[in-house]
Amino acid sequence: MNTSFWKLLSLSLILIAFGCKEKSHEHADHDATASDVTDNSGNQALYNEVMKVHDEVMPKMDDIHRTKQQLREKLEKATAAEKPAIEATIARLDSAGEGMMVWMRQFRPLPDSLGEEKAREYLENEMEKVKKVREDILQALEQAKKE
C-alpha cells in the first residue's frame, strides 16, 4: 500500500480536525504503485481519476467548516422563524463533510492478488461514491450561500 498516501490522508484529517485555515490539501503523491492496484494502465488511470475528484473537493472541507461557523453565529441572532432553515443547512453541511470522511476511511485500493477485473470494478464503484461526495459537498455549500 502506498504509505505516503495514507500519511498524507492522516495529516489532512488532523488538519481538518483542528480547523486548519489553509486552502490547499493537495496530495501530490497518490499515484498508485503496483502493490496498490493492478499494473494495468487502465486501472492506474482510473485510480488517478478517483483521486483527482477527491483532490478537487477536499479543499472544500475548510469551506464547510468556515461556513458552519458563520451559520452558527447567524443562528444566535436569528428569529424563531429563521432558525429551522439555518439548522437544516448546518445539518446538510455536517452530512456532506461526514460523507467525505467516511469515503476516505473506507477507500482501499485492491491488491494485485485480487485480479485486474476486481480492481477495476472496485475503482469504478469508488468513482461513483466520490462523485456523490463531491456533489453533496458542492450542493451543501451552494445552499449555505443562500442563507
46-96 pLDDT, tens digit each: 999 999 999 999 999 999 999 999 999 999 999 999 999 999 999 999 999
Domain-embedded: residue 125? yes
Domain interval for residue 69: 40-145
pTM over 0.85: no
> How high is the pLDDT of residue 3?
53
* pLDDT above 90 for 139: yes
> How high is the pLDDT of residue 33?
43
Domain-embedded: residue 5? no
Using an 8 Å Cβ cutoff, are 61 and 25 in contact?
Answer: yes
Instruction: Give the separation between CA 77 and CA 30, rounded to whole angstroms.
Output: 44
Q: Diameter of the chain by CA atoms?
A: 59
Domain-embedded: residue 57? yes
The total number of structural domains in the chain stands at 1
Instruction: List Cβ neighbours of 92 (8 Å cut-off, separation of 6 or more).
Output: 139, 140, 143, 144
Alpha-carbon distances of 24 from 33, 52, 89, 121, rounded to whole Å: 24, 14, 24, 30
Quick count: other Cβ atoms within 10 Å of Cβ 87? 14
Query: Which one-letter amino acid corresponds to residue 97?
Result: G
Torsion angle defined by CA atoms of residues 108, 121, 116 and 119, in that order, rounded to the nearest 10 degrees? 0
Q: Dump pLDDT digits (tens) for 11-54.
A: 454 445 444 333 333 343 344 443 444 455 678 899 999 999 99
Domain-embedded: residue 19? no
Domain-embedded: residue 15? no
Cell of 70: 458563520
Instruction: Give the separation between CA 93 and CA 110, rounded to whole angstroms.
Output: 31
Domain-embedded: residue 1? no
Using an 8 Å Cβ cutoff, are 47 and 32 in contact?
Answer: yes
Domain-embedded: residue 28? no
Domain-embedded: residue 62? yes
In the three-class reduction of DSSP (H, G, I as helix; E, B as strand; rest coil), residue 72 is classed as: helix
Residue of 122, 111, 114 whose CA lies nearest to 34: 111
Using an 8 Å Cβ cutoff, are 137 and 99 in contact?
Answer: yes
